Amino acid sequence: MDRILSSPVIFNKNLIKKTVLDQNSSQPSTNFTGLSSSMESKAFNKQETIVKLRESYPNSLGVTGNLPADWIKEIPKDKREEEIKKLYKAFDEITEIFRSGRPRERDQWSDQQVLKIRPSEESLQKASNILINTFKNAGIKIEEDIKIEKLGAGKLGYAFKFNVNDDKYVFKVYHDIDSNLGLVKYGHGNPLENNKALFIKRNTHGKNQYAPYYFGNVKSGYMIEKYIDKDNVLLGNVKSGPDAEKYIDKNDIPPRISPLDDIGLDAGNDLHDANVSIGGIIFDYGGIKVLNRNLADNKDRKFHLNREKKLDEKRAIENFIEKVKNPNIDKGTKIIMMPQIRNLPEQYKFKAFKELSKDPDKDVRSSLVWYIQNLPTEYKFRAFKMMTNDPDKSVRDALPKQICHLPEEKQLEAHRIIDESNKKHSIFRIF
């Protein structure tokens, strides 16, 4: 789902610390455990899998994630669970208001008849009143009345904005929650986007380049995230603590700092797509795919992402090389170690890559292909050519996506080598 913003980018340092804490908060939270736990621990590519998962946790009511901590802490503890349920129910009710009475229209993307949200002023006022009353009844202080405003329609939904005191939120309501929409296969749609948002939030510890996600519902079809505009664009991967006061000018944002490849995901080119990002902050969780299932499913990835120290000491480098060579280290650990290749000194990167390419497990070798792009330029083509000789088809099939990372003068030759390699191995299969 997309939202178009064309405002100039300004980094507001007064808001950056708060947003980092929003993503990696230790404040009290209450969620409907079960569905959220499953959704944050595994990234899915198929919407029907999430629908089945949702049905296996009926008590979760389709809810994923948590209400913002600032809301929860104002609700009296003795009535917290009850009022939180009412807040979730209020958002469910609002989605029904926005969808009610709307005719189905032909969708140009899926070529199906789908419901399209066309909010009226009357429906906006009714929805705003529901939030005002629910917040007040829960004991949450609001300095001025909540007003739900239109932001605009995307391919799969409609985006609204509302304020709770000084905090701004985006309320994305999906046009249609039918699991057969054509764009679902490309990683779009309510269940898949809620899943990826929660998975990214939990497994990058808030250090990513996405607008902070709070909660959503994979049954009623909505999600809530932080509103990003010209007044509060910020760098989402700044840590809490001493570094939280470190602000980075928009011109200094590197091309890719979102660590999605470290958790087995790929967002394509969304980081620089003006339709889904502003100032390097992506506010659309659609289109994210599982690139490396071995890494995405690895339970130790959180441990790995905590190890951020650059490998520049001789002992640390030697230990890393010895580990990747050790046949007794399981494949999951080796896959988790791979992103550290980029942290090695230049002269050691290809050495580590070469050792991992000898691993007997094809999953290790196929995962390794992704890290060709992290090698020094003079070694990229050499590593690419070496992997075309791998006997396993899954390893060779992963290579074409790395061609764009090779030196331009080598890309045509890389295509030729892959063709020759595939022909050679197809002959071997015949005999």
Highest mean pLDDT among 1-15, 284-298, 320-334, 412-426: 412-426
Q: What is the pLDDT of residues 256-308, one digit of tens each?
A: 344 677 787 877 655 555 567 776 678 889 888 887 776 677 665 554 544 44
Across 192-206, average pLDDT: 87
Across 405-423, average pLDDT: 91
Task: Give the list of residues 6+ apart from residue 139 with CB closer than 8 angstroms, or none.
Answer: 74, 75, 76, 79, 83
148/127 Cα distance (integer angstroms): 7
Q: What is the pLDDT of residues 210-260, one digit of tens each?
A: 889 999 999 999 999 999 875 555 443 333 333 333 333 333 333 334 467
- Residue 11: the pLDDT is 29
Residue 111 has pLDDT above 80, yes or no: no
Q: List beta partners, residue 305.
A: none
Hey, what are 312's tokens? 């520049």
Backbone angles phi, psi at 288, to 5 degrees: -80, 130
CB 110 within 8 A of CB 182: yes
Element (H, E) at 213: strand 213-217
CB 206 within 8 A of CB 24: yes
Residue 3 has pLDDT above 60, yes or no: no
295/279 Cα distance (integer angstroms): 29
222/190 Cα distance (integer angstroms): 7
40/57 Cα distance (integer angstroms): 14
- Residue 426: the pLDDT is 66
Task: For 362-399, give the DSSP string.
Answer: HHHHHHHGGGGGGS-HHHHHHHHHHHTT-S-HHHHHTS
Q: What is the pLDDT of residues 11-61, one digit of tens each?
A: 233 333 333 334 444 444 444 568 988 888 889 888 888 989 999 999 889
Let me know if 248 is exposed, middle or buried by CB neighbors in 10 A (0-12, 13-18, 19+). Answer: middle
CB 418 within 8 A of CB 381: no
- Residue 422: the pLDDT is 80
CB 256 within 8 A of CB 271: yes
- Residue 94: the pLDDT is 96
- Residue 103: the pLDDT is 66
Hey, what are 219's tokens? 């049954």
Q: What is the pLDDT of residues 118-171, one digit of tens each?
A: 889 999 999 999 999 999 999 999 888 899 999 988 777 889 999 999 899 999
**Where does 118-263 have alpha helices with state H?**
121-138, 190-203
Q: List beta partners, residue 159.
A: 152, 172
80/88 Cα distance (integer angstroms): 12
Average pLDDT of the chain to the nearest whole number: 77
CB 237 within 8 A of CB 209: yes
Q: Which amino acid is at 49?
A: T
CB 112 within 8 A of CB 180: yes
> CA triplet 227, 233, 237: central angle to 5 degrees?
100
172/169 Cα distance (integer angstroms): 10
Give the CA-trace dihedral at 73, 126, 158, 66, to 10 degrees: 20
Task: Give the list of residues 6+ apart from residue 271 with CB closer than 8 angstroms, or none.
Answer: 209, 255, 256, 258, 277, 280, 282
- Give the rounded percent of residues in the chain with a pLDDT score beyond 70: 71
Nearest of 210, 192, 228, 185 to residue 54 by alpha carbon: 192
Hey, what are 112's tokens? 């199906």
Which residue shows structure tokens 């070694």? 379
Which comes out higher in pLDDT, residue 201 or 314? 201
CB 236 within 8 A of CB 23: yes
- Residue 337: the pLDDT is 80
Nearest of 372, 369, 363 to residue 334 by alpha carbon: 363
Nearest of 241, 63, 92, 247 to residue 174 by alpha carbon: 92
Minimum mean pLDDT range among 22-26, 106-110, 286-290, 405-409: 22-26
pLDDT band per the 50, 70, 90 thresholds, residue 6: very low
Across 73-81, average pLDDT: 94
Hey, what are 62's tokens? 């389709």
- Residue 300: the pLDDT is 57
- Residue 32: the pLDDT is 55
